[in-house]
Structure 1
Amino acid sequence: MKRIVFTEEQIRKLEANPNVKKASESAITYTTAFKLEALQGYKTGQLPSEIFIRAGFDLDVIGHQKPKKSLKRWRETYELYGEEGLATERRGKKSTGRKPAGELAVEEELKRAQAKIKLLEAQVDLLKKGRSARAAEKETLTAAERFAIINRTIRAYDLKRMTRYLCELVGVSPSGYYRWLAAEDQRQIRAAADEEDIVLIKHHFEVLNGKAGALVIKMRLEQISHVIMNHKKIRRLMRKAGLVAVIRQANPYRKMAKATHEHQTCPNLLERQFDQGEPEKVFLTDITYLRYGGGQWAYLSCEKDGATRQILADCVAATLELPIVERTLQRLLERLDGNIHPEAIIHSDQGMHYTHPKTRHFIAEAGFKQSMSRRGNCWDNAPMESFFGHMKDEVDFINCQTIEEVQVVRVRDYINFYNSERYQWTLKKMTPDEFRGHLLAC
């Protein structure tokens, strides 16, 4: 059976119960009066759980087996030692009686040694559990953590006049420890506020199926919940609540490879200047693969506005034939309705769909300049690759059974969400549609 470990808040609530003499992380010491009252109630036919619930104990906290085991131990102690035996904690003891006076000093030294061992064990245990990267590297504890360990040790051993000794052991000042104790109310207020914020953060985290980081949640809090919260605080609370985005984790070992300058079918007119401050001037395009159903493949072609990040046209097809690009370009022209910027550019990679003479002729006839990335250099079309990456992270295509379901239910819905509901940090925390209106109003 899993051992129950009480939190600081649970310990405080237990010690507030008049039937509890003291409590620690792993044990509860009950008052003699409560033990006698419990035994009397048990003799009259009351269940152990009923006795503990009536005494104000939460069985979800102390454990549902605790009442039964405690009553059994108390009955055995009462039969052997009577009421005097209940007054002394019997667990682990085989005899009763006072210690000889000459042994008091030795007992005190032993108690100090045991307290020191407990203190060191608590330090090691905390270092193993949920430590931050900074503390793990230094293998040390913060002052607040040391104060908490001292407090728990003092309560666990019922130590008297040993605060200074324990503070010296862990390297903190007694005055700092007492200030920490006095600030308990403020810590509880902050903890309660954090819990409320965690509920709000968790709501947005779950709405996006755990596929959101601190910056995305910050934008959703501001735009949807009208709550301003620092992104560092959001990260802290996400760590506290164990909320970890399941996608797009930073890889510290990834480095951008330098692409070689090879022959270019078309010049790279953008040079990664994707955002030129004007809507519908730079269009980024590419094709990606979508796996769905029982191992089937669909192909998605998109046109993205470099300034507003809007997806202006898309086409889903079952094959990689040339018409997928032609239909995408045709839908882009329909969206623009003849309003083509005099310096409009369509930028792509050097795939055969875009180097094909038919495609190049179509682009030129429509009034666009054509630009291409350097060969093998995905960074030259990074915004388009980024969109495909986010879509594949946030949309599940495996459950789709037909290509129509892929296009209508998944792709089209996600593009509508991406354009009108997905806030982006680099767009001044606006959605692409909102940012387009912002640019036009400037």
Structure 2
Amino acid sequence: MKKIPKQEYTAEFKALAVKRVKDGLTVSAAARELGLIDKTLRNWVKAADTGKLGGVGAKLVTPEQMELTRARAEVVRLRREVEIPKKSDGILCKRCAVKYAWIDTQRACYALTELSSVLAVSVSGYRAWKRGGKADRSRLTDVQLLALISAIHEELKAAYGSPRMVLELRARGFSASKARVERLMRENDIRARHKRRFKVTTDSKYGLPVADNLLDRNFTPAAPNQVWTSDITYLWTDEGWLYLAIVLDLFNREVVGWSLKPRMTADIVTDALTMAWFRRKPAPGVLLHSDRGSQYASHAFEDKLTEYGMICSMSRKGNCWDNAPTESWFNSFKNERVHGWRFSTREDMTATAFEYIEVFYNRRRLHSTLGYKPPVPFLKDWLMAQQSDISVA
């Protein structure tokens, strides 16, 4: 079995990763959440400081598009919540052990010193709890468990209902039954964000040639880099529309390529495809399925498919279900990060999309199609299993 080649990153990805460090995350925390080696990200930061940050594929976005402010705003919000007893109902203030447990859920995103300051506890106290408090994690009271559920609910921006919340708690080392978690969430009105109806946005009124539907709704390939799907969605900000194109590997449902632009021209889909190809560098023969939008029927996109040795497949006219996994991804993204929030600038939306794709969805979000595993860990487990089979043979 051939391994997936070492990833290469676009200038857009590098710049957004660097901005997460510039806006408050430590290099180690940012590298961990993005699946990078510390030294790699540190080198990107140094290159950015000297104006020599390069990359492959997509063009570098403007500083305004790359500005990420969510991390610092989140810390301010958390500080405000724990300082106002009426809002938090004092849950995080009742016992230091609960504070330490909550800090433990946030370590991947924020510096320990900053978290300790927010909750008015000592770093040494947290470390002492970490060394000796793990045995008590499975015996939480309802108040303690509710504090953790509330913290995770806020951390994941209301992405999880009770089934995923149970799995998330267990993955973090806390034992909790499904019935107990359901009860606490129901009694305290903690719920996942609701789904919205799909709206067709594809413009297929043009004279360009279209491809046959070769995918034919076979959404379960046997291996990575066999079937990729792609689509575009609209994202509204106070500055106007921002458009997001993604490329999804159906095997592990990972977003392997993406592009954000203020105009919906052909380069948005070619840039997303370029990112995907440089990340995976698949052998010729990948089936790339999309709708019949003019961007996908353009000569520029057709030339890019030919360059990469890919096979084009398109949904039937007006049939969004032919590309259901990608539509489902957009639905999850908008429900969990977009609907209900106001984005004053395109840069705010860019930050949100980057965090959702690269930090949360690909590496952390539990995916029901994958047996409640995140896409990247699912693929790593599959590759390790393949290697074990080869070794036994």
TM-score interval w.r.t. the shorter chain?
Answer: 0.5 to 0.7
Correspondences of 1:136-285 after superposition (within 5 Å): 193-224=141-172, 226-248=173-195, 265-285=210-230
- 1:313 corresponds in structure 2 to 257
- The structure with higher relative contact order (CA 8 Å, sep 6+) is 2
Instruction: State the Cα distance separating 1:315 from its structure 2 match.
Output: 0.8
- 1:322 corresponds in structure 2 to 266
Q: Percent identity?
A: 30
- The 3 A distance-change label for structure 1 pair 441 and 212 is same
Instruction: State the Cα distance separating 1:328 from its structure 2 match.
Output: 1.6
The TM-score with structure 1 as length reference comes to 0.48
Which residue of 277, 301, 311 corresponds with 1:333? Answer: 277
Residue 368 (structure 1) aligned with residue 330 (structure 2): no
Gaps of 5+ in 1: 1-191, 255-263
Residue 289 (structure 1) aligned with residue 237 (structure 2): no
Is the Cα contact below 8 Å between 2:223 and 2:251 reproduced in 1?
A: yes
Instruction: State the Cα distance separating 1:193 from its structure 2 match.
Output: 5.0
Is the Cα contact below 8 Å between 2:158 and 2:336 reproduced in 1?
A: no
- Calculate the aligned-residue CA RMSD, in Å: 2.6
- The 3 A distance-change label for structure 1 pair 390 and 434 is same
Is the Cα contact below 8 Å between 1:214 and 1:235 reproduced in 2?
A: yes
- The 3 A distance-change label for structure 1 pair 394 and 246 is closer
- 1:113 corresponds in structure 2 to none
Instruction: State the Cα distance separating 1:361 from its structure 2 match.
Output: 3.0
Residue 419 (structure 1) aligned with residue 362 (structure 2): yes
Q: How far apart are the structure 2 equivalents of 1:228 and 1:270?
A: 42
Give the SS at the match of 2:218: coil
Residue 406 (structure 1) aligned with residue 349 (structure 2): yes
Deviations 1:164-205 (A, max 9, x none): xxxxxxxxxxxxxxxxxxxxxxxxxxxx95554433333322
Q: How far apart are the structure 2 equivalents of 1:393 and 1:314?
A: 19
Q: AA paired with 1:410?
A: T
Q: How far apart are the structure 1 equivalents of 2:327 and 2:146?
A: 32
Q: How far apart are the structure 1 equivalents of 2:369 and 2:273?
A: 27
- The 3 A distance-change label for structure 1 pair 358 and 342 is closer
Give the SS at the match of 1:307: coil
Instruction: State the Cα distance separating 1:342 from its structure 2 match.
Output: 4.0
Q: How far apart are the structure 1 equivalents of 2:153 and 2:348?
A: 26
- 2:129 corresponds in structure 1 to none
Residue 379 (structure 1) aligned with residue 305 (structure 2): no
Residue 352 (structure 1) aligned with residue 294 (structure 2): yes
Deviations 1:4-38 (A, max 9, x none): xxxxxxxxxxxxxxxxxxxxxxxxxxxxxxxxxxx
Q: How far apart are the structure 1 equivalents of 2:268 and 2:185?
A: 42
Q: How far apart are the structure 1 equivalents of 2:183 and 2:218?
A: 35
Q: How far apart are the structure 2 equivalents of 1:413 and 1:376?
A: 31
Instruction: State the Cα distance separating 1:208 from its structure 2 match.
Output: 2.5
Q: How far apart are the structure 2 equivalents of 1:322 and 1:300?
A: 12
Q: How far apart are the structure 2 equivalents of 1:273 and 1:317?
A: 30
- The 3 A distance-change label for structure 1 pair 380 and 200 is same
Instruction: State the Cα distance separating 1:360 from its structure 2 match.
Output: 2.0
Gaps of 5+ in 2: 1-139, 199-208, 386-393
Q: AA paired with 1:203?
A: A
- The 3 A distance-change label for structure 1 pair 197 and 400 is closer
Which residue of 421, 425, 428 corresponds with 2:371? Answer: 428
Is the Cα contact below 8 Å between 1:268 and 1:371 reproduced in 2?
A: yes
- The 3 A distance-change label for structure 1 pair 232 and 274 is farther
Is the Cα contact below 8 Å between 2:157 and 2:337 reproduced in 1?
A: no
Q: How far apart are the structure 2 equivalents of 1:403 and 1:207?
A: 23
What is the number of residues matched between the two proteins?
A: 234
- 1:439 corresponds in structure 2 to 382
Is the Cα contact below 8 Å between 1:215 and 1:425 reproduced in 2?
A: no
Q: AA paired with 2:225?
A: E
Q: How far apart are the structure 2 equivalents of 1:404 and 1:422?
A: 23
Q: How far apart are the structure 1 equivalents of 2:183 and 2:290?
A: 40
Instruction: State the Cα distance separating 1:231 from its structure 2 match.
Output: 3.4
Is the Cα contact below 8 Å between 1:312 and 1:335 reproduced in 2?
A: yes
Q: How far apart are the structure 2 equivalents of 1:400 and 1:236?
A: 34
- The 3 A distance-change label for structure 1 pair 239 and 299 is same
Give the SS at the match of 1:314: strand
- The 3 A distance-change label for structure 1 pair 277 and 419 is same
- 1:75 corresponds in structure 2 to none
Query: Which is higher, the Rg of structure 1 or of structure 2?
Result: 1
Give the SS at the match of 1:311: strand
Give the SS at the match of 2:247: strand
- 1:38 corresponds in structure 2 to none
Q: How far apart are the structure 1 equivalents of 2:361 and 2:193?
A: 19
- The 3 A distance-change label for structure 1 pair 272 and 232 is farther
Instruction: State the Cα distance separating 1:402 from its structure 2 match.
Output: 4.0
Is the Cα contact below 8 Å between 1:346 and 1:368 reproduced in 2?
A: yes
Instruction: State the Cα distance separating 1:230 from its structure 2 match.
Output: 4.1
